Structure 1
Amino acid sequence: MRFKKLDLNLLVALDALLTEKNVTRAGERVFLSQSTMSNALARLRQYFDDELLVQVGGRMELTPRAVMLHDAVRDVLVRIDTTIAAKPAFDPTESDREFTLFVSDYSMEVLIPGALALASAQGSRVRFNLQPQVNQPYRHLERGEADLLIIPQTFCSPDHPVDVLFEDRFVCVVWRESALAQGELTQERYQRARHVTMRPPGGGQPVFDTWLASDHGLSREIGLATYSFGVIPHLVVGTDLIGTVHARLAQRLLPLLPIEIRPVPLPMRAFSQAMQWHKYLTRDPGLIWLRGLLKEAAARLDDPAGSAGLS
């Protein structure tokens, strides 16, 4: 099929080439030989009158025209895929569909176990693929690489639907035997202390440090940086370090570790943990089921009886 003299089959090849920036890997992505993919690239270059991929040092880079095409082509393919793949009904006890979710280790600890227990109680046969949180996660929604994101609402894209799951706040954790555990944790003591922080994989400013700077014009002395929220309470044990983590996470680890929980000695806003999905998937029956599952798991977070017994 052709549209304005472009063979529409080439759109799949173009998307693979612009994503992989490598002819061989692009061919593997769409199950085409290297020679077939090279031929497709030549035809695309001729149609667009642009090189699309150019050699820069030891790697291939996108031309400005290719950068402009990339998101548009992916959007078209995602729309086609969601339309064709959509089914009128979804039964989790019959479906073996795999859902890909981008989640932080915090959400993995606090929310996901309850959701999995609910799915199991329903006799679900679906599969879950949990991927680590990344910078600009909404890009993975738009490329069709994620079904759902679970992230703070402030980081959600304005271009896709959002539903708040639950709220949380930050607290401080210190080793029970440290000086910081004795007496009141004042703002002065907090600022003088050496801190453990979580730096997102792939770069970016830590969430709490961003809020600390924007809300109070303050910074912290970082004694230790890690890529995981969940290990921060473990890492303060035996040290004079202080960690600032989510209250729900700290409460879960309190019975397991020799730590104390203290309020952050600064006015702190609560934050909302939300889920976001692609606008084209709003009516997807499978995703509607998944969103309902997560909403129920979130509702049970503050109900010990409900979270303990999932009958």
Structure 2
Amino acid sequence: MRFKKLDLNLLVALDTLLTEQSITKGAEKLNMSPSALSNSLSRLREYFNDDLLAQVGRKMLITPFGENLKVHVRNALNNIESTILIQPTFEPQNTDRIFSIFCSDYTQTVFIPYLLEVVGQHKCTARFEFLAQIDNPHEQLERGEADLLIIPSDFVSKEHPNDVLYEEEFACVVWQHSELAKGELTKQKYAEAGHVVMRPGGMKKGFFELSFANQHNIERRIAATTFSFASLPALVIGTDNIATIHARLAHKMAQAWPLKIHPLPFDIPVLKQCAQWHQYRHKDEGLIWLRNAFQEAAQNMGS
């Protein structure tokens, strides 16, 4: 099918090429031969009168014009999917839909069990795919790889709508036989201690440093880093280190590990955990149902 002399089938190829920046990887993703995708790239270059992707050494780099097209092409495909391809009605008890949700392991530990309980009560037959935490999760939303993000309000995109699900405070956990377990945890003790922190792949600083630590002029001495919030409490066992984690997670982990929970020795704003979805999916009945299930789960979770 052609629209203003452009074969619209080429839009999918263009989106994949600009995302993967590789003919081989793009062909694998589209289940087509590299030669066929290379031919599609040639036709796209001719139509747009631009290389779109330029070979530099062993890599293919996006041209400035291609970079400008990238978001617009992705948005066009998202719009087609949300307005034409998604079924107009959503029946929770009779659906084979798979919802892809980006969220941290903290969220999977303290919130998702309540969500799945609500899903079961509604006898919903949808399946859920929870995606690993990465830097710049909005790229997954833009590419249509995630239906929803569950992230702190500090990291929501201004380009897309969101709902606040619940609020969370922070606490410190230490090994209950450590020196730090004795007496009050002061700001000085906190600053002088070693810290175990979580950092998503590709990030030089974690959420706590980016959001709060600089406000109190605290430069934590990092003893260890991990990719998992849920592993933080275990990593302080047998040490004099501290893990600063979400309060709900701290209390849950204290039931399984020999930990003592201290309040933070300084005040910080509560974390607001949000659900965010693509602006073109605002009327998606499946996502509307799921967002309502999120809110019901948050109410069941309580404070």
| Equivalent pairs, count | 303
1:101-144 CA distance string (max 9 Å, x none): 00001001000111112212222211111001222212211111
**Aligned equivalent of 1:7:** 7
CA contact (8 A) 2:23 2:37 kept: yes
Q: Distance in 1 between matches of 2:213 and 2:175?
A: 26
Q: Over residues 33-73 of structure 1, what are the superposed CA-to-partner deviations in whole Å (9 max), with x where a residue is unaligned?
A: 22221211111111122111122222211111111111111
Letter in 1 for 2:31: F
Give the Cα–Cα distance (whole angstroms) in 1 for the partners of residues 211 and 27 of structure 2: 44
Partner Cα separation in structure 2 for residue 171 and residue 93 of structure 1: 40
**1:212·1:219 contact (CA, 8 Å) conserved in 2?**
no
2:302 is aligned with 1:297: no
Match of 1:83 in 2: 83
**SS of alignment partner, residue 93 of structure 1:** helix
Cα distance in 2 between the residues matched to 1:159 and 1:126: 28
Moved more, 217-226 or 198-207: 198-207
Give the deviation of 1:239 after TM superposition.
Answer: 0.8
Partner residue of 2:33?
A: 33
Give the residue type in structure 2 aligned to 1:34. Answer: P
Q: In 1, Cα distance between the equivalents of 2:283 and 2:48?
A: 35
Shift of 1:296: 0.9
- The superposition leaves residues 273-307 of structure 1 with CA deviations (integer Å, 9 ceiling, x where unpaired) of 0100011111111111111111111111127xxxx
Q: Which residue of 1 aligns with 2:218?
A: 218
Distance in 2, Cα, partners of 1:115 & 1:60: 42
**How far did 1:244 drift?**
0.4
CA distance in 1, matches of 2:233, 2:6: 57
Matched, 1:192 2:192: yes
SS of equivalent residue, structure 2 residue 128: strand
Distance 1:31 1:184 in 2: 61
Please give the alpha-carbon distance, in whole angstroms, between the structure 2 residues aligned to 1:157 and 1:83.
Answer: 22
TM-score by length of 1: 0.94
The alignment partner of 2:251 has SS state of helix
Query: Are 2:179 and 1:179 equivalent residues in the alignment?
Result: yes
- Structure 2 CA distance, aligned partners of 1:80 and 1:273? 29
CA RMSD of aligned residues (A): 1.4
Give distance in 2, aligned partners of 1:8 and 1:257: 57
1:4 positional shift: 3.2
Following the alignment from structure 1 to structure 2, what is the Cα–Cα distance between the partners of residues 288 and 21?
34
Distance, in Å, in 2 between the alignment partners of 1:18 and 1:103 is: 25
- Whether the 8 Å contact between 1:165 and 1:273 is mirrored in structure 2 is yes
| Of 17-26 and 252-261, the range deviating more from structure 2 | 17-26
Partner amino acid, structure 1, of 2:34 = Q
Partner in structure 2 of residue 127 of structure 1: 127
Counterpart residue number, 2:55: 55
Answer whether contact 1:101 1:150 (CA < 8 A) is retained.
yes
Alpha-carbon distance, 1:173 to partner: 0.3
Per the TM alignment, residue 198 of structure 1 is displaced from its structure 2 partner at its CA by: 0.7
Opposite residue 36 of structure 2, the aligned amino acid is T
CA deviation map 1:226-272 (0-9, x unaligned): 11111111111111111100000001111211100001101111110
What secondary structure, in the 3-state scheme, does the structure 1 residue paired with 2:151 have? strand
Q: Which moved more, 1:284-293 or 1:23-32?
A: 23-32
The alignment partner of 1:222 has SS state of: strand
Counterpart in the other structure of 1:307: none
Indicate if the aligned counterparts of 2:154 and 2:211 stay in contact, CA closer than 8 A. Answer: no
TM-score by length of 2: 0.96
The code of the aligned residue for 2:128 comes to F
Aligned mates of 1:175, 1:157 — CA distance in 2: 37
Structure 1 runs, 4 residues or longer, greater than 4 Å off: none
- Equivalent residue, structure 2, for 1:161: 161
Gaps of 5+ in 2: none
Amino acid at match of 1:97: R
CA distance in 1, matches of 2:16, 2:193: 49
Q: Residue type matched to 1:186 in 2?
A: T
* Contact residue 212 and residue 218 of structure 1 kept, 8 A: no
Deviation of residue 217 (structure 1)? Answer: 2.1
Provide the C-alpha distance between the structure 2 equivalents of 1:124 and 1:178, rounded to a whole number of angstroms: 47
